[in-house]
Amino acid sequence: MLTAADVIAGKLLVQLGDVTAAQARAAMRAAAADDSTPQDLVARLQAEGLDQAKVRRIRRYVGLYEMVRAEAVYLTLLEKRHGFPRHEAHDLLARIEADVYRSRLGAALVEAGRLTEEEDGALVQRARQAMAAEDAKVVARYLRDDFEGVARPLVRAAQVTAASFTASTIFRSPETARLVKAQVERLRGLAEAVPGGGIEVDFAPPEAVVAQANAPGAAGLDLERLSRADTARIRHAEPEPAAGDLVGRRAIGPYEVVECLGQGGMGAVYLARDPESAGALVAVKVLQTGRAGPDDVARFGREVAVMRLVDHPDVVTLIDEGRTDDGLDYVVLQAFPGRPLRALLREGGPLPLGDGLRLLERLLEALAAVHAAGVVHRDVKPENVFVIAGPERAIKLLDLGIARRMDDDRPAAERLFRTRAGVISGSPAYVAPETITDDPIDGRTDVYSAGVLAFEALTGKLPLVAGSPYELLREHLLGVPLTLGQARKDVAWSPDLERLVARMLAKERDQRPTCAEVLDALRGGLAAEAVRHAKAPSPAPAPGGVKGLFKLLNRATWT
C-alpha cells in the first residue's frame, strides 16, 4: 500500500540524487499495487540496492519533514482558532529552530499556561485530521498521474541537509522566513544563514490544510485508512481471532489441560498438569501449524532456540517441546502465579516509585542474561514482563520470538534468528530508533525499550506520544521525550533519576548505558536517593507566565 510518507521519500530520494525518477516511479507503482507486503518505499528500494547510509538519511529527512509540517499546521490552527498573534508565532518558530527549548510547540504552550491540555489535545487531533485528509488527496493525485510529480523537488534549497527542514522556510511565506531567520541569528548570537526555500505545491501549505479541516463535515475525518498501512509495516503481538478447534482440548501430548489461558488465530496457551512431575502445573504454548504462516513458524522456532541459550531465574524457562499427533507444535514453560505488567498498570495505574525501580532492576538483570547469551530481545514491553505474585516484585521475561543474535553477520537468508527484511519488528511504542532504520543493534537496543517501559511504569504515560504507529516511529527517531516531571507532576523526581532515564532514551545507541551500568547506578545509591527525594516536601513553584515558555524545557539531546 502506498502512503503519503512514500511520496515524500520518493521525491526526496530523487532530489538528493539517490535514485532516478524512473526507479522511484517503478517502486511507487509496485507499492501501490501490493497490499499484501508490509514494506514501505524505502525498504523496497533498499532491497534493490539503496545503501544503508542513504536509507538512514532518507528516513531521518522524512521524519523531519513531517515533524515540521505537523508543527506548521498546529501553529496555523492556533492562529486561526485562538487568535494567537502573528509576531508571537514568528518568535515561537525562531525559538524552535534555534533550539532555545526542545519540546513540541503545544507541550511548551501548556507548560507556560497559554493553553490547557484539553485545548492542546483538540488542536493536535484537528491537525492530524487535516493532514490525513491532505495526505489522502496527495496519494490519489499521484496514483492518477502515474507518479510524474516524483521528479519535482520537495524542498527548494540549493543543497538539502537536515538544516533545510524548518517550518519557517518550508511552510511559511518568504517574509516570515526572513523575520524568523533574523530572530534565530539574534538568539544564537551567530551570523550564519538559515537555508532558504519553500514547498512545492504537492503538499498544501498549512493555511490550505486548515481551511480543509474547517470545511463542513470535516470534523468526522477518519485517520484509519493511512493508519492501516502504517500498522501493516509494524509487527504486533496482538491476538488474532480465536481458533475454534483449539477450544476444549483435554490434553496436549502427555500434558493434561486444566484451562485455556489465552488464544489467537495461530495458537493458544494452556495451563496444564505434568504427569512426570506429580501433576505440577505448567504452561503449554501451542502453535497450530496448519494455520500458521512461515513467519509464525520461524518466530516459534526462534523462541525455542533462544530459551535453550539463556538460563536465568528472571527469564522464562523451557521445560519440554514436542508435536501432537494432530499436528500441533508445542513448548512447555514454567507456570507461576501473577499477572502481566500491562494488566497491573491498566488496573492500578503507575507503580509506587520503590516498586517500580525494583522491577526495573529485575528486568535489567533478565536482559543482561539474554545479552550475555549474545542475543537481543527486541520486544521489551509490559505485555512481555510477567510480575509474579508476592512482595518481591519478581518477574519473568517472556516472548523471545523476535530475538536476534548480535554477532550474526552471515547473509540474511542464513541467519539463525532471521526476521523479514523491510518490516519493523517490535511494538511501536517501545521500539528503539536503530531498529526503525535497520542499523546494527546490541544490548543497548533493549535498554531503550526498558527505558520506555520504566517511564510508563513510574508515570502511567509514555515518554513519546503520537496518534498512529507511523507517528510513533517518527517520534522515536526525532521526537524529544517527556521528562518524568512533565509526565507526572505530583512526584518530586530526583534529578539523577531524570538523567538516568533520559540516557536510556537517547536516540543514538552509543549514548545509552548498558544494563550493567544502569544496575550499578541504581544499586549504587541512585534508587534509594530517588525514593528519599520523592518523599521530601516539594519546593514552592516558580512564577509562571509567557516568559516561562522560553526556558529550556527538556535537556534531552536533539538528534
Residues assigned a catalytic role: 379
> Would you say 431 and 477 are in contact if contact means Cβ atoms under 8 Å apart?
no
CB–CB of 320/332 below 8 Å?
Answer: yes
DSSP β-bridge partners for residue 425: 235
What letter represents residue 115's amino acid?
Answer: L
- State the Cα–Cα distance between residues 341 and 388, nearest whole angstrom: 10
Q: Which residue has the cell 520486544?
A: 379
Pairwise CA distance, residues 271 & 249, whole Å: 11
SS3 per-residue string spanning 130-157: HHHHHHHHHHHHHHHCCCHHHHCCCECC
Nearest to 516 by CA among 455, 447, 448, 456: 447
Cell 496436549: give the residue: 252
Q: Residue 40 in contact with residue 62, Cβ under 8 Å?
A: no
CA distance between the termini of the chain: 30
- Non-local CB neighbours of 147 within 8 Å, separated by 6+ positions: 10, 24, 25, 28, 29
C-alpha cell belonging to residue 120? 492542546
Q: Say how far residue 404 (Cα) sits from the centre of its chain.
A: 19
Calpha distance 538→553 (Å, rounded)? 19
Q: Is 153 exposed, middle or buried (0-12, 13-18, 19+ CB in 10 A)?
A: middle
Give, in order, the Cα–Cα distances in Å from 188 to each of 64, 97, 291, 556.
21, 10, 60, 19
DSSP 3-state assignment of 110?
A: helix
HSE-up (13 A, CA, CB side) for residue 155:
30
3-state DSSP call for residue 266? coil
Give the whole-angstrom CA distance, residue 508 versus residue 109: 28
Q: Would you call 198 exposed, middle or buried from its count of C-beta atoms within 10 A (0-12, 13-18, 19+)? A: middle
Distance from chain centroid for Cα 516: 24
Closest to 322 measured CA to CA, from 364, 289, 296: 289
CA distance 385 to 497: 22
Amino acid at 24: A
User: Residue 483's closest CA among 6, 108, 36?
Assistant: 108
